[in-house]
Amino acid sequence: MNISTSGVARRTLRAVGAVTAGALLALSAGCNGLSSTGPGAAAPATQRAERAPVNHDAYATLGYRITWRGFPVMSRGGRIIDFEVFDDVIVVQESGTTVTLMEEATGRNRWSTPLGQRLTRFFGTVRVGERILCSSDNELFVLGIDTGELLDRQNLALVVNNKPVIIGSVAIFGTSRGEVLGHNLATGYRHWGYMLDGAIESRPTIVNGLVGAVSRRGDMIIIDPASGSSRARDQIFGGLDNNPVGDEEGMYVAGLDQSIYCLSPVSGRISWRHRAEAPITAQPVIHDGTLYIEIPGEGLTALDGATGDHLWSSPDVRGRVVGISDGRIITWDGSHATLLDMDRGDVLERVRLPGIERIIVAPFENGDMYTATRDGVIAKLSPRR
């Protein structure tokens, strides 16, 4: 069911004042950054650094060396809920609602801004030009990238379940009522909506300039983000415990109904299906036409994105692919990073990285590696070339 675009007047983004938190802290051992202080503050950066020693040998085995460590502002007992790497900055959001922007080149904190109340449910951040968008379940907070100034707060028409994907001036969310919501960033109002069968808890994905979404009941759709009209739709036999991914060929869906699917925007229907022996919960990754995913009973598996053909499986490898370095795949399972041969899936190296919760390689192929600990130590590692 297509919900028509609302006619709304354009409103100007308004500056309502900068809100910043944190104080300069002198760091030992060459560490840079800001750290919050006071009764609600997390441990100082020096203490956080001591609790997260760098395993230089393990990173060297992976082909990386430490460049810097940084310390976003954290609340007491806070944990990192999202961190995103862009060309020149890194944005970190912690569970106490503070957002910190770090300089990518040095790891120094440029600013930190607390948002909302501690009980506000935030989903993370995205970047649109010189603005950072922070999404809660009912609002978008718009921050200036240079100073962290709060430029706008936009109410969302529905309760959302994830941070948006951005196409042009439209932010697309999945919602609890089952509507794919297109929110107009220029006006601050709903641009369009498309109702699916069941709540949408997985984050939508970009599919060759379109947007795809999947509901908990297996209703799949690919939508034109400008008009909100359907370009492809089909049904599977269950929902997801991960997020769909997309490329030029289609939207890839790894479901709890023990199958992986590709929904094609060209045919409008499922173009291939790969069956598994159990529900699939691992996060798929698509890169350069190859879909990588851990499949029960098969281990990490590579499938041809266009046809679904099986390329290889590595039965002893768990987790998700986080990047590619010099023709070697890097996977992360929450405790171990593994290097695999890209063509055959053979295990080349495996190292344990205690204390690390998240790893990002950016850009995905031959990029730097960024790691995050639970209590807020961000590290940048560069390839050893």
Q: Are the C-beta atoms of 249 and 305 separated by less than 8 Å?
A: yes
Q: Average pLDDT, stretch 319-333?
A: 97
Q: Average pLDDT, stretch 53-67?
A: 94
Does residue 30 belong to any structural domain of this protein? no
**What is the residue range of 201's domain?**
156-281
Q: Report the mean per-residue pLDDT for the chain.
A: 89
CATH number for the domain spanning 196: value is 2.130.10.10
Q: Are the C-beta atoms of 13 and 154 separated by less than 8 Å?
A: no
- CB neighbour list of residue 7: distance below 8 Å, 6 or more residues apart: none
192-244 pLDDT, tens digit each: 999 999 999 999 999 999 999 999 999 999 999 999 999 999 999 999 999 99
Q: What is the CA radius of gyration of the chain?
A: 21
- Tally of structural domains, the chain: 1
pLDDT of res. 17? 35
Q: Has residue 19 got a pLDDT over 80?
A: no
Q: Are the C-beta atoms of 83 and 109 separated by less than 8 Å?
A: no
User: Would you tell me how many other CB atoms lie within 10 Å of the CB of residue 268?
Assistant: 14
In Å, the largest CA–CA distance within the chain is: 59
Q: pLDDT > 90: what percent of the chain?
A: 83
Q: Has residue 51 got a pLDDT over 90?
A: no
Q: Average pLDDT, stretch 79-89?
A: 95
Q: Has residue 92 got a pLDDT over 70?
A: yes
d(CA 36, CA 116): 17
Paired strand residues for 176: none
Q: pLDDT > 70: what percent of the chain?
A: 89
Does residue 203 belong to any structural domain of this protein? yes
Q: Has residue 28 got a pLDDT over 80?
A: no
Q: Are the C-beta atoms of 368 and 104 separated by less than 8 Å?
A: no
102-131 pLDDT, tens digit each: 999 999 999 999 997 778 999 999 999 999
Q: Has residue 330 got a pLDDT over 50?
A: yes
Does residue 295 belong to any structural domain of this protein? no
User: Would you tell me how many other CB atoms lie within 10 Å of the CB of residue 134?
Assistant: 25
Does residue 160 belong to any structural domain of this protein? yes
Q: Has residue 25 got a pLDDT over 90?
A: no
pLDDT of res. 84? 97
H-type helices in 79-179, by residue range?
none
Q: Has residue 18 got a pLDDT over 60?
A: no
Does residue 78 belong to any structural domain of this protein? no
245-271 pLDDT, tens digit each: 999 999 999 999 999 999 999 999 999
Does residue 297 belong to any structural domain of this protein? no
Structural tokens at position 338: 């593994």
Does residue 235 belong to any structural domain of this protein? yes
- The more confidently predicted of residues 71 and 26 is 71
Binning the chain into helix, strand and coil, the percentages to the nearest 5 are: 5, 50, 50
Q: Which of 29-43, 158-172, 292-306 has the lowest mean pLDDT?
A: 29-43
Output phi, psi for 61, to 5 deg: -60, -35
Q: Average pLDDT, stretch 320-330?
A: 97
147-165 pLDDT, tens digit each: 999 999 999 999 999 999 9
On the question of a cis peptide bond just before residue 279, with omega within 30 degrees of 0, the verdict is no
- Identify which of 74, 73, 109 has the alpha carbon closest to the alpha carbon of residue 90: 109
Does residue 255 belong to any structural domain of this protein? yes
Q: Has residue 7 got a pLDDT over 60?
A: no
At residue 43 the predicted structure's pLDDT band, cuts being 50, 70 and 90, is low
